[in-house]
Chains A and B, each alone.
Chain A
Amino acid sequence: MTEPVLQVNDLTVTYTVGAGTFFAVSDVSLQIEPGQVVGIVGETGCGKSTLAKAIPRLLPEPPASIGSGAIIFRGTDLVKVGRRQLPMVRGTGIGMIFQEPLNSLNPAFRVFDQIAESIRIRHYREMGWLRSFQGGEQPFDYSKPPITTTAAGSLSKAIVPPAAEEAVKDRLATRSQFREEVLSYLRLVRINDPETILNLYPHELSGGMRQRIMIAMALSEKPSLLIADEPTSALDVTIQAQVLTLMKELIDEVHAAILFISHDLGVIAETADEVGVMYAGRIVEYGPVAEVFRDPRHPYTKMLLRAAPAHYKNDGPLSTIPGSVPNLSRPPPGCRFHPRCSLARDVCRGENPPLAPVDPAASAESPHIHRSACYFQSEVPNLR
């Protein structure tokens, strides 16, 4: 079995604001294999975005601090990596697409310069002109053409050529080759008129266009792990659908390991292989998307799914989850969901339930099986 791209072990992230400490992420564990898409879903304020930004150590420290745990990216614990080494991990190692496409591009530079900068960073690292991050025994190279059944499969070979040493050396030597490389990434994200777009400034582009350019910028560094932090949330619905379609096609094409953060259950259901449901800083349920969504075993997941609008559901008002997300400076003891849970009993108030396999026969070792952090997970299917 291949080495996982990312392994997060018992990660705890706190924010210190004034005298208070907020436990934004508590004891989160995750494992992402090459080519796997892992979704994280949860309400606003449950720690999804903090988790996404904590992995490439992008959170400002202080006020944020990583209390405990490990973020093992290709064999290296990023928690222990020095501040000066961190940029080497970012970009070519871990790429990121942000929520706010309107503000995520630098308003002072043309589209060409911004994408070119990313390609230059990757190129210089490939050529060894810039020190890059060497983690693990053998760097995982997702850029090998994946075996894919989509029509875009043939396209991906041309766009993401194999990173063979000779090919790399010659590929970006001239200005026109460099320009062609930039153009190829604009075409990859389905931009119709890349020649024109290149010379525009971000403020001359629409939100959907800017998000495509953000995606192109992240992909152009060929990261081993791509973190998509609510990439469609800030867009309006039609653009959202377009970008989502693009993301789905790209997932097939580039075959990267992706951590997909979203509050939208539908988006996660369409894109992810596995899903982690977060509540108040903890992962309360984890497993393959189909299993988790078909047979949720945590009361929170069950209620979240019921609260999601669905096209077939036109009988009466949407249900809501009573109560609100707890204040993370004083999280409730025991299971953090117990104040809002109809199954809660004394044990829930006293002790935090572990993420236990749903199927008792399954091997507890594998990180990819369906698990739920509920003492009464067998009763969840009967929950009304």
Chain B
Amino acid sequence: MGRNPGDLLIFIGKRLLQLIPVVLGVIILTFICTHLKLVGLCNAVYPHASPEVIAACNAKYSAPLLTQFVQYLTSLFQGNWGASPLGTPVYPAIAADLPATVELVLAALFIMVVIGIPLGVVAAQYSGRWADHLVRIFYLSGWATPTYLGAVIAAVFLGPALGLPSGGEYSTVVPPFPQYTHMSVVDAIIALNFPYTIDAIEHLILPASVLAFINMGIATRMTRASMLEVLPLDYVRSARMKGLGEFWVLYKHALRNALITTTTVLGVTAGGLLAGTVVVEEVFDWPGIGQYAYDAVGGGGSTANFDGAIAVVIIFAIGVVVANMIADIMYGVLDPRVEWR
């Protein structure tokens, strides 16, 4: 049949194997891009550093490119993600930052699903009428907003207006409980700290909403398009003829089938969202991997961190592949005609 749990495991295994060439390609490309022209780089990047630091930096980057690459790969396979030129190791920073980003992306996806998909249904239901046009204006304005502008407007105007915080994960820099997962809301829940849970959610709302608003168009548009495809089909008519009210016809019978396409697209988007958080995290001071990436490439006057940049790109690539895999699994869960292969 091709739909047993065993088949699913084989499917996931195959997808994970596909990760290897993707990640290798990503490493090579990023490595070349970051290491191509390094003459005098250490001086340029660390103008005020002590001569010892610059000497160490030069020593690290003076070997032939291939040698450096082999060194990097070897250490990567040994579990060593490298360090910044100043000696800060990459791995602990990423391990702490990635969960925060994943949390932000999941929250944005949640908003996209909960608001974007019903809007798509409404748009399809009233296609060509004013409700449809209103929805289109809504998602197109999101689509047309540059991320930095949307983020700044939300942080500067919307946050104070709604009484929502627009910076950081909590109101205090260090919360009074251990950070097991580095996801602000989850950690607060684990600590059973109710006030901090609310606080964490309040801090999450604005950045997640901005991210969701900007990407809402994908969810809404796909839902609208696939609903319009599904609505004239015979089984929707059968559902009406059963005596079901319009709500159940739309949200159970039609949407269930329309979601199959939407889910696939949302999975692809989720991978992209991961990388798209850089600006939002920077504006909202969200301690995620996007902010780390921004610093790693020398943004905001920080010191360049090539090992960190490569690591972030690898993480983003893995994120895209995994998000696609989850979308494929969801596709099979939603559509009983799909077989795992």
Contacts and interface: CB of A to CB of B under 8 A. Distances in A.
Given A104-B235, A106-B257, A221 B336 contact: no
Contact of A106 (B238, B245, B246, B260): B238
B239 interface: yes
A90 B240 contact: yes
Given A90-B243, A217-B242, A107 B336 contact: yes
Given A106-B257, A108-B335, A108-B336, A91 B234 contact: no
Interface in A94-146: 94-96, 98, 100, 103-110, 117-118, 121, 125
B36 interface: no
Given A107-B235, A107-B257, A203 B241 contact: no
Interface in A197-236: 201, 203, 214, 217-218, 221
A160 B36 CA distance: 81
A87 B238 contact: no
Contacts of A104: 234-235, 237-238
Contact of A98 (B238, B244, B335, B336): B238
A254 to B, nearest CB: 17
A100 B240 CA distance: 16
Interface residues of B, number: 21
B246 A87 contact: yes
A58 interface: yes
A106 B257 CA distance: 8
A98 B237 contact: yes
B256 interface: yes
A221 B336 CA distance: 26
A88 interface: yes
Q: Is the interface of B mostly helix, strand, loop or mixed?
A: helix
B334 interface: yes
Contacts of A203: 336-337
Contact of B243 (A92, A108, A110, A214): A92
A103 B245 CA distance: 20
B243 A103 contact: no
B334 A108 contact: yes
A191 to B, nearest CB: 18
A276 interface: no
A228 to B, nearest CB: 12
Contacts of A91: 241-244
A39 interface: no
Interface string B325-341: 00000000011110000
B253 interface: yes
A203 B3 CA distance: 14
B63 interface: no
Given A106-B239, A108-B257, A201-B337, A121 B244 contact: yes
Contacts of B70: none
A299 interface: no
B233 interface: yes
Contacts of B244: 87, 91, 117, 121
A357 interface: no
A56 interface: yes
A56 B321 CA distance: 49
Nearest to B231: A60
B242 A118 contact: yes
B261 to A, nearest CB: 13
Contacts of A87: 240, 243-246
A103 B337 contact: no
A106 B253 contact: yes
Interface string B247-291: 000000100110010000000000000000000000000000000
Contacts of B337: 107, 201, 203
B241 A100 contact: no
Interface in B136-188: none
Contacts of B253: 106
Contacts of B239: 106
Contacts of B260: 108
Contact of B235 (A105, A110, A118, A125): A105
B240 A58 contact: yes
Contact of B241 (A96, A125, A201): A96
A257 to B, nearest CB: 16
A328 B240 CA distance: 28
A106 B256 contact: yes
B145 to A, nearest CB: 35
Centre residue among B240, B242, B244, B246 by max chain A CB count within 10 A: B242
A88 B243 contact: yes
Contact of B242 (A84, A90, A103, A108): A90
A58 B257 CA distance: 21
A365 to B, nearest CB: 33
Nearest to B257: A108
A214 B241 CA distance: 11
Interface in B205-256: 233-235, 237-246, 253, 256
Nearest to A89: B243
Given A98-B238, A103-B235, A104-B234, A121 B243 contact: yes
A80 B252 CA distance: 28
Nearest to B237: A58
A107 B239 CA distance: 12
Given A87-B240, A90-B240, A106-B235, 19 more contacts: A58-B240, A58-B241, A87-B243, A87-B244, A88-B243, A90-B243, A91-B242, A94-B241, A103-B235, A106-B238, A106-B253, A107-B336, A108-B256, A108-B257, A108-B260, A108-B335, A110-B336, A203-B336, A221-B242
Interface of A: 56, 58, 84, 87-96, 98, 100, 103-110, 117-118, 121, 125, 201, 203, 214, 217-218, 221
List of 7 A-B pairs having minimum Cβ-Cβ separation, nearest first: A91-B243, A103-B234, A90-B243, A201-B336, A106-B235, A104-B234, A96-B241
22 contacts: A58-B240, A89-B243, A90-B242, A90-B243, A91-B241, A93-B243, A96-B238, A98-B238, A103-B233, A104-B237, A107-B235, A107-B337, A108-B257, A108-B334, A108-B335, A108-B336, A109-B256, A121-B242, A125-B243, A218-B241, A221-B242, A221-B243
